[in-house]
Amino acid sequence: MLDDRKLAVLRAIVEDYVSTNEPVGSKALADRHNLNVSPATVRNDMAALEEQGYITQPHTSAGRVPTDKGYRLFVDKLSQIKPLSGAERRAIETFLAGAVDLDDVVTRTVRLLAQLTRQVAVVQYPALSQSTVRHLELVPLTDRRVMFVLITNTGRVEQRVIELPERIEESRIAHLRAMLNACLDGCGLSQVPDQVSDLPQRLPVEDRPAAATILSVLLETLVERHDEKIVFAGAANLAGADFTTGLRDVLEALEEQVVLMRLLGETSDMPTTLTVRIGSENPYTGLRGTSLVATGYGSGARLGVLGPTRMDYPVTMGAVRAVARYVSQILAAS
């Protein structure tokens, strides 16, 4: 059905179109790539490819352009992920090495990825739900207020100021803190609710109101799923590209956490595999015309790159994979 030469033609079309941004014709194809056949033959192959929906022509008598289906085949069968150059690798290393905390790691990563691919980078914060409690701190501020700080093994810190229902002595707070840490240290966040459920019963009656308030804040913090936070960078790189769907839609999607979340999350069954979502495969209509190259990193979070469907997939995939690996490494080390 699709012999080797037809596939070669498709590959050539994708590569040429990506680099020139112009519909590619049979003559140019036969010339530039050494297919060793005449333009007429190429035309026949093109007709077959078009017949099957891999390419299309914007108008009669223009060259051919890959369809989403064509890109899909290209990504799945015809392309090889391109490894980064040594210089790029070193750049990644030095750029990420200076990060001081989790926030910083994420910020640097997203900028790095945007710069590297000259597209929009998207990074999800490491998932809270998969991490464990490293420490829980209660800091008395006044006799009615306590600063609550939850530290996880991924370096994430959540803090709240809690108004207590009644005054409570510092020593009682210290006791409460000790108990909480004793029963939560190293415990997965998802198990926290179970662990603390019977805690009030083990406390003196006079401490229970304060404990209840604090526990409710703790549970609330867990529920809030801060792993839904996603940051992006490189929006300026969109300015040049032209999308079938307006630029506005893309920017809107980027600022809409929910949309991004769904986009990134939708393919997380194989965490460390690169997933590519091309144009209309996209769940959100505003993002037709864009492709997403994403992968997991760290323990369950995801990062990726969003660009026009007409993007250089091998290079982009190489960059995403490399950055994900480096970041995972850094997160594991800290």
Residues 222-261: x/- map of binding to a second copy (CB under 8 A)?
--x--------xxxx-xxx-----xxx--xx-xx------
Measured from the CB atom, the residue of 46 and 254 that comes closer to DNA is 46
Least separation in angstroms between residue 71's CB and DNA is 18
Query: 217 vs 110, 208, 212, 214, 265, CA distance in Å?
Result: 31, 14, 9, 5, 27
**Structural contact between residues 196 and 212, judged by C-beta atoms closer than 8 angstroms:** no
The C-alpha atoms of residue 222 and residue 208 are separated, in whole angstroms, by 21
Distance, in Å, from the CA atom of 16 to the CA atom of 265, rounded to the nearest integer, reads 32
147 binds, among a second copy, DNA, none (CB under 5 to 8 A by kind): a second copy
Query: Which does residue 59 bind out of DNA, a second copy, none, counting CB within 5 to 8 angstroms by kind?
Result: DNA
Give the gyration radius of the chain's Cα atoms. 26
Give the shortest CB-174-to-a second copy separation in angstroms.
11
* Ranges within 147-186 binding a second copy (CB under 8 A): 147, 149, 151, 155, 157, 159-161
234 binds, among a second copy, DNA, none (CB under 5 to 8 A by kind): a second copy
Shortest reach from residue 17's CB to a second copy, in Å: 23
Quick one: what does residue 39 bind among a second copy, DNA, none, with the CB cut-off 5 to 8 Å set by partner type? Answer: DNA
Instruction: State the binding partner of 251 from a second copy, DNA, none, CB within 5 to 8 A by kind.
Output: a second copy
Q: Which residues are at the interface with DNA (CB under 7 A)? A: 5, 23-28, 36-41, 43-44, 46-47, 50, 57, 59-64
Nearer to DNA among residue 13 and residue 274 (C-beta)? 13
Shortest Å distance, C-beta 2 to DNA: 13
| Binding-site ranges for a second copy (CB under 8 A) | 100-101, 134-135, 137, 139, 141, 147, 149, 151, 155, 157, 159-161, 224, 233-236, 238-240, 246-248, 251-252, 254-255, 334
